Amino acid sequence: MQKVQAHSLFTDFDIQLFKAGKHFKLYEKLGSHIIKVDDTKGVYFAVWAPSAKSVSVIGDFNYWNDNEHQLHVRWDGSGIWEGFIPNISQGEKYKYKIHSHHNGIVTEKADPYAKRSEHPPNTASEVWDLNYSWKDKDWMGYRKDKNALDKPYSVYEVHLGSWKFDTKDNRPLSYVELADNLVSYVKEMGFTHVELMPIMEYPYDPSWGYQLTGYFAPTSRFGYPEDFMLLVDKLHQHDIGVILDWVPSHFPEDAHGLGFFDGSHLYEHPDRRRGYHPDWKSLIFNYGRNEVRSFLISNALFWLDKYHIDGLRVDAVASMLYLDYSREDGEWEPNKYGERENLEAISFLQELNETIYKDFPDVQTIAEESTAYTGVSKPISHGGLGFGMKWMMGWMHDTLDYFKKESVYRKYHHNDITFSMTYAFTENFMLPLSHDEVVYGKHSIRGRMQGDEWQQVANLKLLYGYMFTHPGTKLLFMGGEFGQTAEWNFQQSLDWHLLQYDYHKGVQQCVKDLNALYTTYPALYEKQFSQEGFEWIEHNDSEACVLSYIRKGHDTKNDLIVICNMTPVLRENYKIGVHQKGKLKEVFNSDLKKYCGSGVSNTKPIKIDDLGWHFKDYSAMVSLPPLSTIVFSIKN
């Protein structure tokens, strides 16, 4: 056995913070780090394994022999094992072999803090120190303005493994290739942000990345960590923000992962009723354990710090908040108050958001939370969870259900399409049409639309117009922007060949113009989370299936009027109430011929009359194209 040199990157203060669950830069201490000791270059290793009897570093450099390089346990009761191995360097593959105090259990684990992993299905960690020269100084200087809640926030959700394939080799594009292809496409389409489905290392492709084993390592499927940095950097250089899906809710039981790490329930809750997720057959973090909280919060800050990420979309928050989530009676235990809320998880989420916004006040956290839990995006000081935004799942489900109905029946379901406005300002809502809505037999977004091909496309453009003019920020999953007809398949590229057809090009141009509308007109974003930014004109015209409303910003001169005609009936001389004098000028119409619509439009400015209507002082007569969203500005 070679003696591993005793060495530590930890100070006593580091250990105090770690034990207290307050060390949020553990990635600078735990894991593998290339350093020099007494002029000898090598690697310092540190791993938390309090139930271990011994911990060895095994790898190519010692032929995976656990007798060669055994780490030292710290004297301070932290459970950290550490040591310096000389003469190994970048790219060395390794794992920790852990002999547990518990029943002679032996585990071989990837490094929880590794910054690079082997390409799946291989499971070793690799020694990796990040080395990249960022060129996004301008973006980092002004991204607080780009990420603000009163600025346009239009998100393109992407699964990197299936966005676009290299046609020659029939494989997903690499990070480097995406830095050209994806960046230029998102810029052309006018989205302000991209959201990447999990890019942290994961073992199982059908999980889409939502079962993580390498929390600090961008997946090696598409290249090296610095290649992913290049992708982020290029997006920033084109004024596009980057949001990462982040999964602190559960993790898989794979042998090399976090589960049963040192022969004990180290990262997962030891009570199966709180530590196992029956739906996903995965393990649930122990949010009450200080060192686990430090691990998770350090991980969130790592991506914001080292990769310049602009936001985290936190997955499956509802499953964290409730002890009875997806459990039958008798399968869960109430909290100390006899209630169903998971108090430790709630406390963790509050501390997570508090820490992120303290250290990175110019980013956003976004909760994927599907219940009526109150205060998800409210300040912690007011009893909220402290997220910047919350997905508006109710709007998504109600809206898609409405658009599945044939237009002749929509008048009986008018409340489904107006109901969202009864709670639209209870949270800072993001309107998502996400990947979950285009899989498992749900059809694509276009595939849910009713009617013949023309009506399907018209309905889709109408839906997008309604979405982009509804209060809240926006998220659209890839493929939806050109009306992909097939469900999403993670194993193949999007159907880009469809863009040779006019209907698909028309939808794509419509989404492009909606992004331009959203980012150009302050009435659509300055008060997107405030009741002051929205006013109904008429929400009770169920017989005609027409909605009309006003969107408002800080300056009333910039107000917009939106009208949605939910049937294929052309309605000429449709009278609406108007709250200002002047003339109406059509600034968007989803029925234009360039979108493959019928071409009905209000080409000339429309005079606003002094006759009151819809409880407004003025009125105007407009033409409503079939199955359309039209938007007017008000000019003097």
CB atoms within 10 A of CB 339: 12
Measured CA distances, 283 to 266, 312, 341 (Å): 11, 21, 18
Query: What is the per-residue pLDDT for 171?
Result: 95
| β-pair partners for 575 | 621
Percentage of residues in the chain having pLDDT higher than 70:
100
Distance CA 619, CA 614 (A): 8
For residue 242, the SS3 value is strand
Instruction: Return the closest-CA partner of residue 627 out of 444, 456, 386, 459.
Output: 459
What's the CA gap between 435 and 245, in Å, rounded?
Answer: 12
pTM (two decimals): 0.96
In this prediction, residue 2 has a pLDDT band, given cuts at 50, 70 and 90, of low
Specify the pLDDT at position 417. 96
pLDDT on residue 6 = 82
Residue 7 is predicted with a pLDDT of 87
> 402-426 burial by CB neighbour count: b if 16+ within 10 A, else e?
bbebebeebeeebebbbebbeebbe
What confidence tens digit (pLDDT) does each residue in 320-338 have? 999 999 999 989 999 999 9
DSSP code string of 567-604: SS--EEEEEEEESSSSEEEEEEETT-GGGTS------S
Percentage helix, strand, coil, to 5, in the chain?
30, 25, 45
Site of tokens 């008000």: 634
Ordered by where they begin, the domains of the chain are 2-126 (2.60.40.10), 531-635 (2.60.40.1180)
Residue type, 327: R
- At residue 3, the pLDDT reads 62
Which residue in the block uniquely carries the two structure tokens 């190994």?
Answer: 88
**pLDDT by residue (tens digit) across 219-274?**
999 999 999 999 999 999 999 999 999 999 999 999 999 999 999 999 999 999 99
The tens digit of pLDDT for each residue in 69-125 reads: 999 999 999 999 999 999 999 999 999 999 999 888 999 999 999 999 999 999 999
Query: What are φ and ψ of residue 547, in 5° steps?
Result: -115, 140
pLDDT reported for residue 380: 95
What would the two tokens of residue 586 be?
């059509």
Read off φ and ψ for residue 35, nearest 5 degrees.
-140, 175
Structure confidence by residue, pLDDT tens digits, 171-210 = 999 999 999 999 999 999 999 999 999 999 999 999 999 9
**pLDDT of the residue at 604:** 95
What confidence score (pLDDT) does residue 263 get? Answer: 95
List 196's β-bridge partners, or say none: 158, 244
Q: For 387-423, how does the pLDDT look when each residue is reduced to its tens digit (9 = 90+)?
A: 999 999 999 999 999 999 999 999 999 999 999 999 9
* Residue 531 CA, distance from chain mean position: 25
Residues 514-524 have a mean pLDDT of 98
Average pLDDT over all residues of the chain: 96
Look at residue 124 and give its three-state secondary structure.
coil
pLDDT one-digit tens code per residue, 42-71 = 999 999 999 999 999 999 999 999 999 999
| 566-605 tens-digit pLDDT | 999 999 999 999 999 999 999 999 999 999 999 999 999 9
**Each residue of 414-437: pLDDT tens digit?**
999 999 999 999 999 999 999 999
Check whether 1 has a pLDDT greater than 70. no
Question: Which residues are designated catalytic?
Answer: 315, 368
Greatest extent of the chain over all pairs of C-alpha atoms, in Å = 94
